[in-house]
Amino acid sequence: MNPCRVKLKPTEEIRIRQGHPWVYSNEIASIEGDIVSGDIVSVFASDHSFVGKGFLNTASKIFVRILTRKDIDIQDDFFRDLIHQAHQMRINLGYNHAYRAFFSDADGIPGLIVDKYEDYLVMQILSLGVAIRKQLFIDLLQAEFLPVGIYERSDVPIRKKEGLPEYKGIVYGTVPNSIIIHENEILMSVDIPNGQKTGTFLDQQANHAAIRPYVTGKTVLDCFSHTGGFGLHAAKYGAKTVECVDISTLAISEIEANARQNDLHNVTALKADVFALLRDYQTANRLFDVIILDPPAFTKNLDKLDKAYAGYKEINLQAMKLITSGGYLVTCSCSHYMTPELFLEMLQEAAVDANRIAQMIEFRTQGKDHPMLLGIEESLYLKCVILRINDKH
C-alpha cells in the first residue's frame, strides 16, 4: 500500500503551523498515494516541507484533521498517552466528580469528546478517523478510567458532514438513564440518553459557582434555566427568592425535582417564553436584583449571525430594564460565531437602548476542563459576562 501524502497550496501551511488543526479541501494542491478516508495521512507544504499528520476524510470539507506536527509513526500508544495526559490535567486541577475528560482538538484527538459523570463516561464521536477506531478508544477509556459503563451520545447532526449516521447507546458495561452528580455544592440529576450535549452543560460549572457573591439575599430571575444550574446554585448560595424560567415542560419538572433533591425551598419554576415574559414583567414593572441569561446558541452558522445578534440584544436589553439599580446581570452566549468582541459590543448597545449604565465586573469563559486551543477560534465558544447595572446619574 502506498502511503497517502497531501500537498498544500502555497502559504496554506501558515495557519496550520500556527496551531489550527483543520486542513480544508480547497487548500490542497495535490494528493499522492492510496486515498482511504479514515486513514492517517502526511501533510506537506508547497515547498515539500513536513507540516503534520492527521485523519483523512474526502467526504468532508475538513479534509485532514491534524493529530501531530511531528513526523512520527502513530500507533495505539499515541492515543493512550493523549487520553492519559488530558485526564491527569483535570485531576491536577481538582476535578473528580463530573467534568469533561477529553475535549477533541483542544486535547489532541480531533472528534473525540469524553465526559465523566461520577462512575460513568459519555463519549461523543465527531470525526470519521475516531469512528473507525471506536473500539480502540472504548478500550483506552476503559483502561484509563475504569468506569462502570460508557454511553455514546453521537446523536448530533454535524456527524453528517463527516458521512456518519447519528447514534446513541451503551457501548460498554451498564449505564442508567439518570445519574446524580455532584456539581460544586449541590446534587444534579443528569439525563444521559436525552439531556443536552452529553447529558448536561458541564462547561458552566465554574460559572454557576461564580455567582455566589452576587446573589446572597437577593431576588433572582434565572432565564433559559434548563435543569436549573444557575438558579439552584443561587438558591443554595442564599438568594432570597429564585424564579427559574424555561419553555420546556420537561425542564421545569427537572428543576423542581433538583430543588427537592437539594432541599431548596426558595425556588419556583415557570414554563414560559423568555422573550415574552421579560416584556410582560417590564409592563408590570416587576424588578429583580439579579437576572441570569443562559440561552441556547441562537446561531450555529455565520449566515444567521445578524438575526442571532438581534436576539441576544433583545433579551439583554429587556433584562437590563428589569434590574434594580446596583443589581447584576449574568449573561451568556455559547455560540462561537458571537465572538467576545461582538458580544461586548452587543451588550453596550443594549445598555444604551435600555438607558442604563453597565459596569463589567467579570468576563468568564468555559471551565478549565474545556481548554481553548490558541490558533483555533472555535474552541473559545462560551462567554459569561457579569455586569453591574446602574441608573444614569
Grid look-up 432570597 returns 240
Instruction: Give the separation between CA 201 and CA 186, rounded to whole angstroms.
Output: 15
Q: How far from the centroid of its chain's Cα atoms is residue 108's Cα?
A: 17
Long-range contacts formed by 22-29: CB under 8 A, 24+ apart: 22/62, 22/64, 22/65, 22/66, 22/105, 22/110, 22/376, 23/54, 23/62, 23/63, 23/64, 23/65, 23/66, 24/61, 24/62, 24/63, 25/58, 25/60, 25/61, 25/62, 25/63, 26/61, 27/63, 28/63
**Are the CB atoms for 337 and 302 separated by under 8 Å?**
yes
Instruction: Give the separation between CA 327 and CA 390, rounded to whole angstroms.
Output: 7
Relative to beta strand 219-223, strand 241-246 is parallel
Catalytic residue among 223, 244, 334, 384: 334
The neighbouring-strand residues paired with 389 are: 327, 358
**Are the CB atoms for 190 and 199 separated by under 8 Å?**
yes
Is 334 designated active site? yes
Comparing CA positions, the residue from 236, 237, 183, 242 lying closest to residue 212 is: 237
The neighbouring-strand residues paired with 356 are: 391
CB count within 10 Å of CB 287 equals 16
* Through-space distance between the first and last CA atoms of the chain, rounded to whole angstroms: 75
Cα angle 120-197-315, degrees, rounded to a multiple of 5: 140
Comparing CA positions, the residue from 316, 372, 375, 322 lying closest to residue 346 is: 316
**Are the CB atoms for 75 and 345 separated by under 8 Å?**
no
Residue 212, C-alpha cell as written in the block: 455566589
Catalytic residue positions?
Answer: 334
